[in-house]
Chains A and B, each alone.
With several copies, the nearest count.
Chain A
Amino acid sequence: MESINQILLLLVVGMVTVFAILSLVVGMGNFLILLVNRLEENNQKQDKVADAHAAVITSVVSIVTQGKAQIVKIIKTK
């Protein structure tokens, strides 16, 4: 009987944990969405890599790699 009690407890612990984690998924997900939305609003005006700058990068890469590489995406990092 001891063993059965343990296993019943395990059922409870297991389901509680799974619900707790998926609550965190929901809560955390909502929090992150709000957080990122807030950041977005602040950064919106300054978030594009200037076209001129991009052109320079593209041409430099093309020279360095003798045309073997191409710019797929430019991410502004600062």
Chain B
Amino acid sequence: MELFEKLLEMTAIEAFMSSPLSLLMLVLSFILLYLGIGKGFEPLLLVPIAFGMMLANFPGGNMAVVNADQVKDFHLLQIAREYGIMNMLYFTLIKTGLLPPLIFMGVGAMTDFGPMLRNLRLAFFGAAAQIGIFSVMIVAVLIGFTPKEAGALGIIGGADGPTAIYTSIILAPHLLGPIAIAAYSYMALVPIIIPLVVKWTTSEAELMINMKEQESLYPSKMVIKNLQRVKILFPLVLGFFIFLLVPSSVPLVGFLLFGNLVKEIGQATNRLYQAASETIMNTATIFLGLTVGATMTAESFLTPQTLLIVGGGFVAFAISIAGGIFAVKLYNLFASKKINPLIGATGLSAVPMASRVANEIALKYDKTNHLLQYAMSSNISGVIGSAVAAGVLISFLS
């Protein structure tokens, strides 16, 4: 019998009995794994997040990220000794805010500003589509979130994973898990959310506005004679102004533009491009996913706040999409060269999924209306828009 007791003691079975909610968390992690693997919802992030969540919820596995108060003033070797490698990774890579800028460097190295530069005018709509961030923030304050928490919740409406994670780390690290889950899930659900909001807010006539037709009716005078050179100068000059006006966005936008710069320079900095877009990006994604997942224990996740975040995140997405659409409608009231409101719908970012969805919707109404290149313009500018919005929130709230 001693043997059986020893065996039982070693297992996590008794511990599960005393905290049965951990089992619920395991079920949730399997659901997320199903969404990531079976349904293809942002698998690069959802699979490691869900796996980290699973590991964290086995009592005795020593993989759950502990409350920051527990490791106050600990140095990282102490954290590793007391709470294991997952906490070491979390407090070194995530809590310090290191990984989101590194991932943004990779995003920059994989972003082509070409479509935006060819349709610069449309970049405006990436601004209007940030309205969901601030609207939901206000609602969140009204229903009892602190301003910091409200800001972190609102930023889900920026439809940008690293931006949402970075903002949460700084403003409300205790909500990091649900915010990351909500951000990536809704980004994966963009093919459902955008058509829904579009149906509520636009008419068939508007959706039939053919971008190429408008282009030939009112041709742009602008010709780009050396796109490559423009693309090298663009991150430098743009950086100068953004850093000047919103210095708190430097960690995100700075690394984004650096990654983009080493890509556009080409062969001469190819080694840096490889590091930014592959080596660092892929490694950072694994560690970000696993550690963010490991923050989601029953105690930290199964709270009313999580439900509000999941709900609020959806509202923020919807308002952002509607914001972009109404900005286009407003523009169309005054301009003779009309814009398809779908171009506004992609302003929230979720690159490049949103653009593909917009393109598909447009083709349904007019088989010749290939507006993908146009949608990419507001789509990409939405990334800059939400990173700047994050900078403003951090600057005012932290």
Given the interface contacts A6-B147, A13-B392, A77-B38, does A22 sit within 8 Å of B234 by beta carbon?
no
Residues of B within 8 A of A25 (CB): 116, 120, 123, 238, 381, 384
* Cross-interface CB contact of A18 among B2, B10, B127, B142, cutoff 8 Å: B127
Residues of A within 8 A of B126 (CB): 22
Q: What sequence of 0s and 1s flags, for each residue 1-25 of chain B, a beta carbon within 8 Å of any chain A beta carbon?
A: 0110011001000000000000000
Judged by a CB distance under 8 angstroms, whether B175 is at the interface is: no
Asked whether B189 is an interface residue with its Cβ less than 8 Å from the other chain, the reply is no
Q: Are A24 and B225 in contact, CB atoms less than 8 angstroms apart?
A: no
- The yes or no answer to A52 lying at the interface (CB within 8 A) is no
Question: A16 near B: Cβ within 8 Å?
Answer: yes
Give Cα A8 to B2, complex, Å.
12
Give the residue of A9, A16, A21, A36 whose beta carbon is less than 8 angstroms from that of B225.
A36
A49 within 8 Å of B (CB atoms): no
What sequence of 0s and 1s flags, for each residue 218-255 of chain B, a beta carbon within 8 Å of any chain A beta carbon?
Answer: 00001111100110011001100110011000000000
CB contacts (< 8 Å) of A40 on chain B: these are 225-226, 229
Contact A28 B241 (CB under 8 A): yes
- Residues in B with CB closer than 8 Å to A73 are 266-267
Q: How far, in whole Å, are A18 and B347 apart by their CA atoms in the complex?
A: 12
Q: Using an 8 Å CB-CB cutoff, how does the interface string of B359-371 with A read, 1 for contact, 0 for none? A: 1000000000010
Residue in A13, A22, A30 whose CB lies within 8 Å of B384: A22
Q: How many residues of B contact A (CB 8 A)?
A: 64
Residue B75 CB within 8 A of the other chain:
no
Complex Cα distance, B7 from A21, in Å, reads: 13
Q: How far is the CA of A19 from the CA of B238 in the complex (A)?
A: 14
A64 sits at the interface (CB 8 A):
yes
User: Does B108 count as interface, using CB distance less than 8 angstroms?
Assistant: no
Q: Does B385 contact A (CB under 8 A)?
A: yes
Residues of B contacting A30 in the complex (Cβ-Cβ under 8 angstroms): 120, 222
Q: Contacting B359 at CB < 8 Å: which of A18, A26, A39, A60?
A: A60
For B376, the chain A residues whose CB sits under 8 A away are 64
**Is B372's CB under 8 angstroms from A64's CB?**
yes
Q: Does A48 contact B (CB under 8 A)?
A: no
Q: Per a CB cutoff under 8 Å, which of B10, B116, B241 touches A13?
A: B10
| Chain A contacts for B359, CB-based, 8 A | 60
B271 interfacial by beta-carbon distance below 8 Å: no
Of B229, B393, B397, most buried by chain A (CB within 10 Å of CB) is B229
Interface SS of chain A: helix, strand, loop or mixed? helix
B138 and A11 form a contact (CB under 8 A): yes
* B95 close to A (CB within 8 Å): no
**Is A3 in the interface zone, CB < 8 Å from B?**
yes
In the complex, how many angstroms separate the beta carbon of B302 from the nearest chain A beta carbon? 28
The answer to whether the Cβ of B31 comes within 8 Å of any Cβ in the partner chain is no
Contacts of A20 in B (CB 8 A): 245
- Are the C-beta atoms of A14 and B133 separated by less than 8 Å? yes
Determine whether B28 belongs to the interface, using a CB cutoff of 8 Å to chain A: no
Interface residues of A in 41-73 (CB under 8 A from B): 41, 60, 63-64, 66, 72-73
Bound Cα distance A9, B209 (Å)? 36
Is there an interface contact between A75 and B237, defined as CB atoms closer than 8 Å? no
Contact A37 B135 (CB under 8 A): no
Q: Given the complex, which residues of A lie within 8 Å of B267, measured CB to CB? A: 72-73, 75
Given the contacts A10-B392, A21-B385, A37 and B223 also touching, CB distance less than 8 Å? yes
What is the minimal beta-carbon distance from A3 to any residue of chain B, in angstroms?
6
Within residues 181 to 228 of chain B, which ones have a CB less than 8 A from any CB in chain A? Answer: 222-226
Tell whether, in the assembled complex, residue B131 and residue A15 are in contact, meaning their CB atoms are under 8 Å apart: yes
Contact code string B107-134 (vs A, CB < 8 Å = 1, else 0): 0000010101100110110110011011
Given A17-B392, A25-B120, A30-B222; 13 other pairs, CB 8 A cutoff: A13-B392, A15-B130, A18-B388, A21-B388, A22-B384, A25-B384, A29-B123, A30-B120, A32-B233, A32-B234, A33-B222, A75-B40, A75-B267
Can you name 27 A-B residue pairings with CB atoms under 8 Å?
A7-B137, A7-B138, A8-B138, A10-B392, A10-B396, A11-B134, A13-B3, A13-B7, A14-B134, A14-B392, A15-B131, A16-B3, A17-B392, A18-B385, A18-B388, A21-B242, A21-B246, A25-B123, A26-B121, A26-B124, A32-B234, A37-B224, A60-B356, A60-B359, A64-B372, A64-B376, A72-B267
**Nearest 4 A/B pairs, CB to CB:** A11-B134, A22-B127, A77-B40, A40-B225
Which residues from chain A sit less than 8 Å from chain B, CB to CB?
A: 3-4, 6-26, 28-30, 32-33, 35-37, 39-41, 60, 63-64, 66, 72-73, 75, 77-78
